[in-house]
Amino acid sequence: MALVEQVEAAPGGRRRLRLKSPADLSTIGEVEVCGVEDVRAAVERARKAQPDWAGLSFDERGRFIERAVRVLLERQDEFLEQIVSETGKPASEALTSELLMACDAMQFYAKRAKRILAERVLPLHLLKTKKLRISYRPMGVVGIITPWNFPFLLSLNPSVQALMAGNAVVLKPSEVTPLSGRLVEDLFTAAGLPEGVLSVVVGDGETGAALLEAGIDKISFTGSVATGRRVAEICGRNLVPCTLELGGKDPMIVCADADLDRAARGAVFGAFSNSGQVCTSTERVYVVEDVADEFTRKVVQETARLRQGAEGEFDIGPIIRPEQLEVIESHVADALAKGARLLAGGRRNPDQAGFFYEPTVLADVDHDMLVMRDETFGPVLPIMEVRDEQEALSLANDSRYGLNANVWTRNKRRGTQLARSVDSGCAVVNDCMLTYGVAESPFGGIKESGIGRVNGDLGLKSFCHTRSIVVDRLGGRSEPIWFPYTARKARTFKRVMRMLWGSSLGRLLS
């Protein structure tokens, strides 16, 4: 069964999608799909609105964003209800991982963009008669395409960064969670953002593809590796800069001296929060043999305490997209067929009407199994016993992904060294995931996990063109390297080169 169903369109009418709750399969609503013309119109509106928006000062732009924070605080229950109805995630989880982090992101960039994007004047190391000005100009209209796992935060956060940098935004949220994506537009409309500066175009891959071809100036894409490749191809052809935030297969390394209680709780949270549908979920654990039995026993104990459900207080919600459920089942079946041992879960939850998969713990796994190689994106925690930290490290790096990683040890220095040795864009010591939620931290992957960074100074600057202006300070009739070229000038340059880079005093000065 599909969670998002095509509705028969009236002749000449627009395509429509019917949305169902992943928790109880009830119908939530219908949306009209934006076609090529709608997308072009949104980009056109954004193009018209952008210069005036960019003409505002950082403080003026920041005031709109701060107003949006206040609107979100006032209407948080309404926003929560919408996100929970589309995703089925526990309300407490939606509160912290979507709304709380959204408020933090908005306030962070509203307050700091002015400093981060301030023009810098630099003296030059060699050309003392010049100075350099580095400034950041908005790119124009930014297209933002987002997935369904954190439908509000992942749509809002890049939008805020693009807006604070002076761009207009056309946002295309996932077809699985379009109503939560649309909340971003509702929020900024309520905050009084000028017409056209941010609009949402709702639809599936066709709408996303139309946005890529609509003449935008930058794409910020968050989603799967397969779609990311297609996005990169089109951006390559059109020479449009893109940031790609893609999938992950994050390793966890548990050293012999780790605090095993904390590590086991961290493993369970890292693997099962949002039902494992997090790009930075802990998807594979390497635990050194001295502590493997004790660690695994604690993980199984913690897992048994989790409450899966759809109403009231619970910890684990449904799988948001039924196709993902099939991926999860195929990974677990493959592991069991190849000799893995099932310690918890391992099946759909028979007590629930919706798409629920029980939190699952596997032992005796190896790298021949899909569950250790491909992104599962579900509540599955495979634990592999290793000889020592070195073996853990080489297995952690035996992956085509490189998004995030986590390392657990009481020796923080050693933990940081290990974290540095993991091939990933981000890592955490004695905690898990987290990096996306730390606004100062540039976030993104290496290898197939993506290209570029969002968040922090670097992320904000990625929504800008960097412009360098060199200014001559002294004037005068001519410069030494200008015409005419003469033998005398050449001899002088040779002397200068020897002096600058052939002597220790020169190297000190250059």
The residues that are catalytic are: 245, 279
Q: CB nearer to ligand NAD: give 296 or 449.
A: 449
Determine the Cα–Cα distance for residues 54 and 44; give it in Å rounded to an integer: 16
Tokens found for residue 212: 């890529």
For position 375 contacting ligand NAD by CB under 6 A, the verdict is: yes
From 4-12, 245-253, 340-348, 406-414, span contacting ligand NAD (CB under 6 A):
245-253
For position 270 contacting ligand NAD by CB under 6 A, the verdict is: no
Contact pick of 42, 142, 145, 439 for ligand NAD (by CB under 6 A): 145
Q: CB nearer to ligand NAD: give 230 or 348.
A: 230
Determine the Cα–Cα distance for residues 372 and 370; give it in Å rounded to an integer: 5
Contact pick of 85, 155, 222, 455 for ligand NAD (by CB under 6 A): 222
Determine the Cα–Cα distance for residues 5 and 454; give it in Å rounded to an integer: 32
For position 425 contacting ligand NAD by CB under 6 A, the verdict is: no
Contact pick of 47, 89, 172, 284 for ligand NAD (by CB under 6 A): 172
Closest residue to ligand NAD in the complex (CB): 208
For position 34 contacting ligand NAD by CB under 6 A, the verdict is: no
Question: Which position has the token pair 């035996």?
Answer: 398
Q: CB nearer to ligand NAD: give 67 or 172.
A: 172
| Residue 396: exposure state from Cβ atoms within 10 A (0-12, 13-18, ≥19) | buried
Which residue, 87, 391, 376, is CA-closest to 248? 376
For position 205 contacting ligand NAD by CB under 6 A, the verdict is: yes
Tokens found for residue 21: 């709750």
The CA–CA distances, whole Å, from 350 to 46, 94, 354, 374, 445 equal 48, 25, 9, 26, 37
Q: How many residues bind ligand NAD (CB under 6 A)?
A: 30
From 26-34, 145-153, 191-199, 352-360, span contacting ligand NAD (CB under 6 A):
145-153
The CA–CA distances, whole Å, from 176 to 47, 146, 210, 227, 271 equal 28, 11, 18, 15, 22
CA-only gyration radius of the chain, Å: 26
Q: CB nearer to ligand NAD: give 64 or 443.
A: 443
From 11-19, 105-113, 126-134, 171-179, span contacting ligand NAD (CB under 6 A):
171-179
For position 247 contacting ligand NAD by CB under 6 A, the verdict is: yes
For position 456 contacting ligand NAD by CB under 6 A, the verdict is: no
Tokens found for residue 83: 């996100």
Residue 399 neighbours by CB under 8 Å, 6+ apart: 249, 251, 373, 423, 447
Interface residues toward ligand NAD, by CB under 6 A: 145-149, 154, 172, 174-175, 204-205, 208-209, 212, 222-224, 227, 230-231, 245-248, 279, 375, 377, 403, 445, 450
